[in-house]
Every structure is written in structure tokens, then in C-alpha cells.
Amino acid sequence: MIRKLDDKGISKANYKVIGTRPIRHDGLDKVTGQAKYSADINLPGMLYGKVLRSPHAHARIRNIDAGKALALKGVSAVITSADFSIQSDKVIDLGEGAMVNTGFLSQNVMAKEKVLYKGHAVAAVAAESMHLAEEALALIDVDYDVLSPVFDVREAMKPGAPLLHERLYHSSTPFIRPGGLKDDSDNSPGSNIASHFVFELGNPKNAFAEADIIVEREFQTKPVHQGYIEPHAATAIWNRDGKATLWCSSQGQFTMRDQSAVLLGIATSNIRVIPLEIGGGFGGKTLVYLEPIALLLAKKAGRPVKVTMSRKEVFEGTGPTSGSFMRVKLGANNDGKLVAAEGVLAYEAGAFPGSPVNPGVQCMFASYDLKDVRVEGYDVVVNKQKVAAYRAPGSPGSCFAVETVIDELAEKLNIDPLELREKNGAKEGTRRVSGPVFGKIGYLETIKIAKSHPHYIEPIKRNAGSKVRGRGIASGFWFNGSGPACAIANVHSDGTVSLIEGSPDIGGSRAMAAMCVAEVLGLAAEDVHPSVGDTDSIGYTSNTGGSSVAFKTGWASYEAAQDIKRQLIERAARIWDVDPGQVEMDNGTLNEKSGTRRQFTFKNLAAVLLSTGGPIVGKAAVDPAGVGGAFALHIADVEVDPETGKVDVIRYTAFQDVGTAVHPSYVEGQIQGGVAQGIGWALNEEYVFSEDGTMLNSSFLDYRMPTSLDLPMIEAVIVEVPNPGHPFGVRGVGEVPIVPPMAAIANAVYDAIGVRIRRLPINPPTVLEAIWAKDGSGRG
Amino acid sequence: MNEKIHVKTKINDDYVEFLCEARQSLLEVLRDVLDMTGTKEGCNDGNCGACTVILDGRIVDSCLVLAVEVSGKEIITIEGVANVDKLHPIQQAFLEQAALQCGICTPGFIVASKALLDRESNVDEGRIRHWLAGNLCRCTGYDKIVRAVMAAQENTKI
């Protein structure tokens, strides 16, 4: 269902292609098995690479002896951190405010002096077969000096905690310092706190003093993995002239190239990255892991090398998102007006600095029009996997905490939770705690539509046999991103257009880009053929991340089409021997405005281009501002079995302002998928560690992601409040739907059983303990 | 090096012979020996269903089958689902219902769904959700996948 809410000055009614649901162009390859993903490349003479990983969570590497492995017949090369370039003070921007220090990045790809988590890469092998490579790994002797690890964020913050990095630089801003380590002259005591920063708006201390009611609560979350079904894989060739080619699936072929080049100490142009289809990323495929390893092995072996990860390696060796400890305090007046807010977020970064605590802080109170707010963030290193971005990084945790407290406040004030949100909702002109002031946003419109929806109006049936039911709602915010993007569009003589753009397509973005071109040129979506270019065939395009692709690459595609349109008008004018001002293009037809009023259809003109001055190519390179934030409001109905503690989601509706839905089916898909991940996060998913830091559930059997049997149909209600900062009103869709589910479900569980659960996941043991604690049965 | 074993089988109606090591799975042979990469690896331990194939009429995770076991049997992979000139109704329904996003799990879902509709008629949402519970999708939340299988069922009835 789409609810259009027109803004003044933005025409919506006239779109011919935007808002329709054509079959995606890359769909046929994907339903027939022809699409090539990262592990689907097999090259002549190719070797297989595997990575040796640390069995310890924290240890110093005394020595690595690969002699026996190299002596095994069929083994061609072994690499360790000694093969990597030495890193100095560089920081790479990964998008979405995530910065990475290249020294730490290099050490994460291959441990140097220390291993910092179980699963940390230590060495890699290339051999004639995967099985042989695995045999060779077992022959590498690593001499470890095992150290005490620290896993919990609060333990790691205490003075005297084991230090991961003895000279870690402590920052008082949310940004990562180049170098990452303290100056030689700095003799302050060591700490695992990489940064501690504060955002403050107004005077929260005074405002709390005047509040009628204050609720303050603590929350905990565990690391959860993005859970993309495609494991990481990378295949590389390194030629004798120093030029390398890398095939991999990632959220950005350019960032894979740039990160790899820095870690190997070579010029970026020496690496050509060919993006393959990506089998899911959700933020987790923005950092290099295997890519530099495949390149180095290929260089050393002098043959193509494919390196792959097993599922266990994906869990143990790549980034989940942070575990966290959070405190939220909200003050309100008896009339339901929120007057003050305070938050403390301590996020685990894993082994190296760079948790998403900064965006977590920026998003947590963003749904509310608050004048007095204070938020503190801590970025803390622990002996766990280095975290990577995961869908709206940082926001799901902090919004879980805030939205649960809002629900409690609503109950205490005896106000409907949706009305409390409406009364205090962020709107145009609201200033966020981190500084920015909202432009045109659609949060209140989203609430309004939710209020008229049957899921909100129809009361929930409370009891179902021995099970009890409840309903919860929650909001979420994500600021959305932009970045550089490029597009090249070629007009073919048969009247079609091929489009090359630079954004790896995770969920239908090629179709979106083609539709933007088709809209401008008056073509059918099927007449534009989109593809994703490699790093030598398209201009720099930043990651598929930050919900930026429909915004920035949609914009680049729009501009490339406008470039074609301009040239077609000039060409028609030349053919008709009139001034270009006498020609206009409307709905795919070029018209002479006066005189003989001649016409060219797009197809007719395309057919004569080569004989009337040559081919026409449209191009665009953009880095657009004008991003519009995204708000979501979710309603969840749950059914709790008080005997087993199992929670089932039985009905779910997600309302979201998307600006403009270019392809509504894939917009719905993003919303449904985000909700599904959020339900998994809420109810089941977590990294379970043993006392020595071993992940105990590193398989899809034990790391329990939702199956088709665990979920109901998920209704996505698209609200369109067009973003005035984009030619088609696009905002960005993909991330915000994962933000509200945890709180919506926690609030629904409270509604069902009368117990507030403030740590994730809300799995059967947690629910049972909560029920037993409440009824005093002592069975806990 | 392990000695290789000669295996004769039938894949997508073609007689196929290959050499493999005893330790190689059917998935590995399909992908690395026969270059049939439409069958995907998601976990290699039977928990995601991305490598689903039909073996003598039953769906199996090809990562859990040793390649030597398929000697004399019949296998249908994703490459064998469509006709030369026409997609299978399930494939068409996946396209029309936008039942895929990244697409890595799609071959497994299509093969598993085909096996369901080949053997049962009038399947409802609950039956589809049960049948597909061995196939993980992380992108779609399953909503559009379940709808696609229901739509394909309507189309196969005609």
C-alpha cells in the first residue's frame, strides 16, 4: 500500500515509470542460476587459498613457522603480516561516518604482534585444492604467548583491565585519529576506551529538575551478525607488470580497491576490481578481509588464487555489530510533553576502534522534538571480532533503549504510546542533539497514517489458549547517506539505452537506476539496460551503504539521462537546421516548437545518430547534498507461551516515509527484510561466547536467524513525503526498517506478560526468568 | 594427493561423468569440477539450503551428499529448472512478485519450491512456510517468496 502525501511544488502525478513495478533487469540471471557471485569465478590454473585463524582471544605471536606447510606437495605460497606494507597515519572513510585507521585495518586483515580475538587471521596459504590448503594450514606452527582477554564492554572500561593496545590513543571526539596510537611523549595510563564524547543541546540538568516524571533505565545488547547468505570470497590475478585484477562481491568495488592498495602499498590504479553479484551485505561487506590476502597470494604464487571463507569463518572472522551497555533517562510533564533526555552509550568496537556509537548517539533521540538533551558515547575495544557496519549502524541499539523508555513513560502518564510520539514528534526545524536541523521530514505524517490503519485501530485478541498476546509500537530514525556516484548511458541505434553505474546491486538498485533514466527519456524501464561497472569502466562511486544508492546513483542516472536529452535536442535542431531553443523533448518525443512542427520519436532519432554526427553518450559524476532523513513506525503483535517462554510475532506492520518509492516492490522488500532482521535480533540472535572467548554458536544451526516458519507476512506501508533535495524526491529506504523492531517487540512482550525486558535477545530463557522473577515462583 | 574416483550420473537429463576425491561433496563437484555454479554454498553444513538440489525426486542439501553417492542417480539443479525457451512458473513468479533481493538464496528456494509443487497441490501459506523452513533468506523476510510460490501454484494449475 502506498500513501502519497504531496508536498507543494513537487509534482508526483506525472511520473510514467517511477512508482511502477517492472521486472528487474538482473532477475532472469538470478532465477536461473546464471548470475555470478564472488565464489563463482573459476580461472585456468587457479589455486585455492585458506586463512589460518587464531585459537586464542588474546595472545602475543612469538613466532610463525610455515616450513612444513611450504614443504607439502601442492602448496605454492604462504603469507603472514610480514608480507603487508607498513602502515602509518592514514584514515579511510567507509561512509556513514565510519572511519578506519589503516594500521588497524591491516592488523585486522592479518594479525601482526598480537591476536586480539579468536578467529583473527594469522597466516594464509595457496594450494592446488581447497582441501590441500586446509591440510597445509594445520602444518603451520604458531608460537603464542597467551594473555588475559577482556570481553565485556564495562569490564574493558575499568582501570586495570587487560589492554588490547598498550598505547591506544584516547579521543574526546567521535572521530578516529590518524595513527590511532598515542604520541611517544604521552605517558598517560593505558585504556581500552578509544573515544569518549558528549553531545549536548540546551540545559538538560535544569530541564530534568522541572520534569513531573523521570524514567531512567539500563539496557544491554549482544553482538549480532549481518548474516548475509553468501560467505566472503575473493579471486585475484597479479601480473608481472605489477597490475592486478580482483574479482569479489562487496558493497563497493572502489573501496575494496582503495583499501587493498593501501594495505599492499601500491597505487590504486594498479588494481582493477571487478564487482560480482553480492549475496547480501547489510554493511558487512564494506571492509576488506580476503581481498588483500588473495592479491598477495596471487603475487607470491604467480598464479590466480581464489580465497574463500567457511560459514564458521564468516562468524568468527568478520564483523558483527556491537554488543552494548546503555543508559537512558527521559523526563516529561504530566501533559505528556517530553522535557529532557539523557543517554549514555558504551559500544563494543571489537578488537580495533570504530564501533557505530557515533551514529547511535546521533539517532537515539532524533524522533523527538527535544530542546534539552545530553548524550555520551564510549567506543571501547574488547577481545571480540572487529565490528563492521550493520544496517543503520548504531541506531537499532540506542533506539531499542529509548523506545522502551518512551513506552514506559506513556504507560505511567496514561497516554497512548502513539499519541505520546505524535505529541513530541520531530518535525521540520527540530534540531538534533548532534547539531543538524531537520528539513522536510515525514515523521508526523507517518504517525498519522499509522493511526488510521486497521492494525492500530483493531484491538488485539488477548488470549489464545494458554498463550498470551500483546501489542507494541516503536519508532526509528536513520539519517541516510549520499556520496560520489557516476553513471554513463549509451544510446543504441535500436532506441534502447545501456546504463553503466557504480553501485553494487544488493536488492534491485540496477532496476531503480534504469527507471530513473527511463523516466527522463520517456522510455519503458525495459528499454534501459543497466549494469554495474568495474573500477576501470565507471567513475568513482562510494559504497552501497547508508541507504544512499537510490539517492546518489539515482541522481547520477537522472543527470546522465538529462545529458542525453540535451544532446538529442541539439542533434534534432541540427538535423532540422533550427536553433536548439526551438526544440523540446517531452515524453520521449522531440518536437519543433513552431514552424513546421517536425517530430522525432526517441527511437527514430536514435536510429540516425551515427549518420548525423555520431553516437550520443550521456554521463554524470555527482556528489549530491540534500539527503532527507528516514523515519519508521512499527506495530508488532506477539504471542507469548508462558510455559516455554517462546515469543512468536503474529502480526507486523511497518510504516515508513520513503520520500518517493522508485520501485515500490523493492522498497517493500527492503522494509520487510529489515523487519525480519530486527525480529531475529529481538528474539534469537546473539554471539554466545565461552569464558575463553570461543564463539559457541558459529553455524546457522545455532546462530538462529528467522526462517520462513518464524515470521508472519510483514505489511509494509509506504508513506511518500517527497524529499525536496532530490530530483525525484527520493530519501533512502534500506536501513531504518531494522531500527524499531527490537523495541516494538519488547513493548509487545510487556503488553502480553507485564514484564519489561531490557536486554536482547528476548529468547525463551530470558522470558521465563522474567516471568518467574515477576510472579516470585522462584524457579529462576 | 588422493586418488580420484570415476562417477557416472545424470544431471538435468544429461548423462554426466566426472572424477572426484572421496572427500568431495556433491556441491563441491557441481561447482568446482563441473562448473555448474548456479547451486550456491551458504554454510556447507546443511543449515541454509542455498545448495538445494533434487536427488531422485527428493530435495537434499548437496553439501551433505558425497559426490560418489550420486553414482547411477538423477539430479536436478537450478540449471535444469527452466525449459530452453521458457522459464518455469516458479521462476516467473519470483520475478513478477519481486521475491528476490540479493539472489544468492534464490536457486535453492526455486529448486525447493519446485519439489513442493511437483508433489503437492493446493498448498497453503502454512505448508509453504513449513516446506521452505530449511532455506534461509536474509533479505526478504520471506513475505514475497511465500507469495511467489502461491502465485506459481495458481499458474501451474492452468
Please give the single-letter amino acid code of residue A69: A
Whole-number average pLDDT of chain B: 96
Give the mean model confidence (pLDDT) for residues A112-136.
97
Checking if the pLDDT of A1 tops 60, the result is no
Taking CB atoms and an 8 Å limit, are A23 and B145 in contact across chains?
no
- A227 Cα to chain B: minimum distance (Å): 7
pLDDT band at residue A259 using 50, 70 and 90 as cut-offs: very high
* 3-class SS of residue A183: coil
What is the CATH class of A482-622? alpha beta
CATH architecture entry for B89-157: Orthogonal Bundle (1.10)
A-chain residue closest to B140, CA distance: A673
Q: Determine contact: B137 vs chain A, CB below 8 A.
A: yes
Query: Could you tell me which of A295, A318, A263 has the C-alpha nearest to residue A120?
Result: A318
The closest CB to that of A708, out of B36, B98, B142, belongs to: B142
CB pairs under 8 A between A and B: 185
Parallel/antiparallel/unpaired status of strands A714-720 and A647-657: parallel
B-chain residue closest to A251, CA distance: B102
The reported pLDDT for the residue numbered A183 is 83
pLDDT band at residue A10 using 50, 70 and 90 as cut-offs: very low
The reported pLDDT for the residue numbered A149 is 98
pLDDT band at residue A9 using 50, 70 and 90 as cut-offs: very low
Give the mean model confidence (pLDDT) for residues A8-12.
42
Beta carbons of A472 and A750 less than 8 angstroms apart: yes
Q: Determine contact: B82 vs chain A, CB below 8 A.
A: yes
- A41 Cα to chain B: minimum distance (Å): 9
Per residue in B1-38, pLDDT tens? Answer: 568 999 999 999 999 999 999 999 999 999 999 999 99
The reported pLDDT for the residue numbered B157 is 66
Per residue in A135-185, pLDDT tens? Answer: 999 999 999 999 999 999 999 999 999 999 999 999 888 776 656 888 888
- A215 Cα to chain B: minimum distance (Å): 34
Answer yes or no: CATH 3.40.50.12780 is held by domain A1-6+439-479+628-780. no
Q: DSSP strand E in A35-109: where?
A: 47-53, 59-65, 75-79, 91-95, 98-101
- A507 Cα to chain B: minimum distance (Å): 4
The closest CB to that of A672, out of B28, B129, B143, belongs to: B143
> Beta-carbon neighbour count of residue A73 at 10 Å?
8
The closest CB to that of A280, out of B21, B32, B138, belongs to: B138
CA distance A541 to A518: 21
Joined grid coordinates for residue A461: 485478541
Q: Determine contact: B52 vs chain A, CB below 8 A.
A: no
Top residue of A26, A31, A649 to mutate, by most chain B CBs within 10 Å, is A31
Checking if the pLDDT of B110 tops 90, the result is yes
The reported pLDDT for the residue numbered A11 is 40
Taking CB atoms and an 8 Å limit, are A705 and B136 in contact across chains?
yes
CA distance A399 to A630: 14
- The set of residues, in sequence order, having a beta carbon less than 8 Å from that of A239 and lying 6+ positions away, is A245
B-chain residue closest to A127, CA distance: B1
Please give the single-letter amino acid code of residue A191: S
CATH architecture entry for B5-79: Roll (3.10)
Joined grid coordinates for residue A527: 528499454
A-chain residue closest to B39, CA distance: A33
Give the mean model confidence (pLDDT) for residues A40-56.
97
The reported pLDDT for the residue numbered A13 is 52
The reported pLDDT for the residue numbered A6 is 47
For residue B141, the chain A residues in CB contact (below 8 A) are 672-673, 675-676, 706, 711, 714
Half-sphere exposure of A743 (CA within 13 A, CB side): 29
Checking if the pLDDT of A5 tops 60, the result is no
Per residue in A563-598, pLDDT tens? Answer: 999 999 999 999 999 999 999 999 999 999 999 999
Beta carbons of A66 and A151 less than 8 angstroms apart: no
Taking CB atoms and an 8 Å limit, are B78 and A28 in contact across chains?
no
The reported pLDDT for the residue numbered B47 is 98
Per residue in A690-736, pLDDT tens? Answer: 999 999 999 999 999 999 999 999 999 999 999 999 999 999 999 99
Please give the single-letter amino acid code of residue A766: T
For residue B116, the chain A residues in CB contact (below 8 A) are none
The reported pLDDT for the residue numbered A779 is 56
The closest CB to that of B140, out of A27, A30, A672, belongs to: A672
Give the mean model confidence (pLDDT) for residues A735-753.
98
pLDDT band at residue A776 using 50, 70 and 90 as cut-offs: confident
Q: Residue A720's beta-bridge partner residues?
A: A4
The reported pLDDT for the residue numbered A8 is 42
Question: Degrees (nearest 5) of the Cα angle A163, A167, A173?
Answer: 100
CA distance A655 to A450: 7
Residues of chain A above pLDDT 70, percent: 96
Taking CB atoms and an 8 Å limit, are B137 and A231 in contact across chains?
no
Checking if the pLDDT of A663 tops 50, the result is yes
Beta carbons of A757 and A746 less than 8 angstroms apart: yes
Give the mean model confidence (pLDDT) for residues A48-75.
98
> Beta-carbon neighbour count of residue A695 at 10 Å?
24
The reported pLDDT for the residue numbered A464 is 84
* Residue B20, φ and ψ in degrees, nearest 5: -150, 160
Q: DSSP strand E in A55-107: where?
A: 59-65, 75-79, 91-95, 98-101
Residues of chain A above pLDDT 90, percent: 92
For residue B110, the chain A residues in CB contact (below 8 A) are 31
Query: Could you tell me which of A457, A591, A701, A466 has the C-alpha nearest to residue B49?
Result: A701
Per residue in A551-566, pLDDT tens? Answer: 999 999 999 999 999 9
CA distance A101 to A170: 14
Which residue is associated with the grid cell 517530430?
A599
Please tell me whether the interface predicted TM-score (ipTM) of this complex is above 0.95: yes
Give the mean model confidence (pLDDT) for residues B53-64.
97
Taking CB atoms and an 8 Å limit, are A277 and B103 in contact across chains?
yes
The reported pLDDT for the residue numbered A7 is 44
- A476 Cα to chain B: minimum distance (Å): 19
* Residue B57, φ and ψ in degrees, nearest 5: 90, -5
Per residue in A392-437, pLDDT tens? Answer: 999 999 999 999 999 999 999 999 999 999 999 999 999 999 999 9
For residue A37, the chain B residues in CB contact (below 8 A) are 37, 40, 104
Provide the sign of the torsion angle of the four alpha carbons A226, A479, A17, A526, taken in this order: negative
Taking CB atoms and an 8 Å limit, are A673 and B91 in contact across chains?
no
For residue B45, the chain A residues in CB contact (below 8 A) are 311, 699-701
B-chain residue closest to A714, CA distance: B143
Whole-number average pLDDT of chain A: 95
Which residue is associated with the grid cell 551458504?
B42
For residue A42, the chain B residues in CB contact (below 8 A) are 32, 35, 37
For residue B133, the chain A residues in CB contact (below 8 A) are 707-709
B-chain residue closest to A135, CA distance: B1
For residue A128, the chain B residues in CB contact (below 8 A) are 1
Q: DSSP strand E in B3-100: where?
A: 5-11, 14-20, 52-55, 58-61, 74-76
The closest CB to that of B78, out of A33, A73, A280, belongs to: A33
Please give the single-letter amino acid code of residue A197: F
Taking CB atoms and an 8 Å limit, are B104 and A229 in contact across chains?
yes
- The set of residues, in sequence order, having a beta carbon less than 8 Å from that of A379 and lying 6+ positions away, is A174, A193, A194, A195, A196, A347, A349, A353, A354, A355, A357, A358
Checking if the pLDDT of B124 tops 50, the result is yes
Taking CB atoms and an 8 Å limit, are B138 and A282 in contact across chains?
yes
Joined grid coordinates for residue A760: 536482547
Beta carbons of A343 and A325 less than 8 angstroms apart: no
pLDDT band at residue A96 using 50, 70 and 90 as cut-offs: low
The closest CB to that of A700, out of B103, B104, B136, belongs to: B136
Taking CB atoms and an 8 Å limit, are B139 and A280 in contact across chains?
yes
Beta carbons of A211 and A265 less than 8 angstroms apart: no
For residue A229, the chain B residues in CB contact (below 8 A) are 40, 42, 48, 50, 102, 104-105, 136-138
Taking CB atoms and an 8 Å limit, are A27 and B95 in contact across chains?
yes
The reported pLDDT for the residue numbered A545 is 94
CATH 3.30.365.10 boundaries in chain A? 1-6+439-479+628-780, 482-622
Q: Where are the domains of chain B?
A: 5-79, 89-157
pLDDT band at residue A85 using 50, 70 and 90 as cut-offs: confident
Per residue in A467-485, pLDDT tens? Answer: 999 999 999 999 999 999 9
The reported pLDDT for the residue numbered A176 is 65
